[in-house]
Amino acid sequence: MTLKSSKVVALEARLAKCSNVITLGVRPNWNDYPADQRRMIMEAGRIYYPSRFYAGLFHTLGLKIFPSVDNYRYAQDKIAQTALFQLAGIDHPFTRVFYGKRQQESIPDHFELPLVAKVARGSAMGRGVFLIRNLRQLRRYCKGRHVAYIQEYLPVDRDLRVVIIGRRVVLAYWRIAAPGEFRSNVARGARISFDDVPARALELALEVAGTCRWNDVGIDLCCYRDRFYVLEANMKYGRQGFIQAGLDYHELMEELIRDGTI
């Protein structure tokens, strides 16, 4: 395969439909790539979506990648994200992690009911997120679970998804929870609204992305008592918001690559 000068190299399939990208795939062993593809990768000005595995390796060798290695470090890891928010002084709902049965027995000492309990790693689209209303539900959540990720419950009916690519906001919208549903995920029936998105929320999202060195991320925020809280960061954000906004995701990415934004 010969790389045309107008095209860039990607490993993961995220940009496979972009006309100015050659996607090589993620191979488990470096030597599984043919010699010409290995050379293509090593000589690329930037390697797009290198995968969690190769991102760290390329970063160590000083190769330019997109998104950042920090995008991969914190993807789908609520524990690491919470620790980072706390260290950086970013407004985040009060959250604690409890390891093992003995620590988990102390959860009621730290939280009032109702509270939110989550699967700490790997969950998405609202899966693994539970509203705990009583001690019986809390015991059921903790049963057989070594790690309990517990967060204060903020009674809001919507959150704000802010998608940042490079260093700019490309999309922002409210996700309004379905009736009777406390989760604001579109996969759980939430309604998307582009109305009255506050500028200060966009500024906060950009500030958080810069602090955390995330350059391809959907940051979720909520507003409670006139104060914005960062809920979490999604590096594998959905595309439904793009569709409803009339944006072609792949055309957007082609443009951002062409103009050097990413």
User: Model confidence over 28-69: pLDDT tens digits?
Assistant: 999 999 999 999 999 999 999 999 999 999 999 999 999 999
At residue 172, the pLDDT reads: 98
In the chain (262 residues long), the average pLDDT of successive 10-residue segments reads 67 97 98 98 97 97 98 96 98 98 98 96 74 97 96 96 97 95 88 97 98 98 97 95 97 96 96
At residue 125, the pLDDT reads: 59
At residue 187, the pLDDT reads: 82
At residue 2, the pLDDT reads: 42
In this structure, the number of other CB atoms found within 10 A of the CB of residue 8 comes to: 21
At residue 230, the pLDDT reads: 98
Residues 6+ positions from 131 with CB-CB distance below 8 Å: 114, 116, 153, 182
Rounded to the nearest angstrom, the gap between the alpha carbon of residue 200 and the centroid of all alpha carbons in its chain is 20
Q: Going by CATH, does the domain composed of 94-152 fall within 3.30.1490.20?
A: yes
At residue 188, the pLDDT reads: 83
At residue 123, the pLDDT reads: 65
| Inter-residue contact 63 to 42 (CB < 8 Å) | yes
If you count them, how many residues does the chain have?
262
Pick the CATH number of 156-258 from 3.40.50.300, 3.40.50.150, 3.30.470.20, 3.40.710.10: 3.30.470.20
At residue 124, the pLDDT reads: 62
Domain ranges of the chain: 8-66, 94-152, 156-258
| Inter-residue contact 11 to 47 (CB < 8 Å) | yes
Strand pairing partners for 116? 131, 151
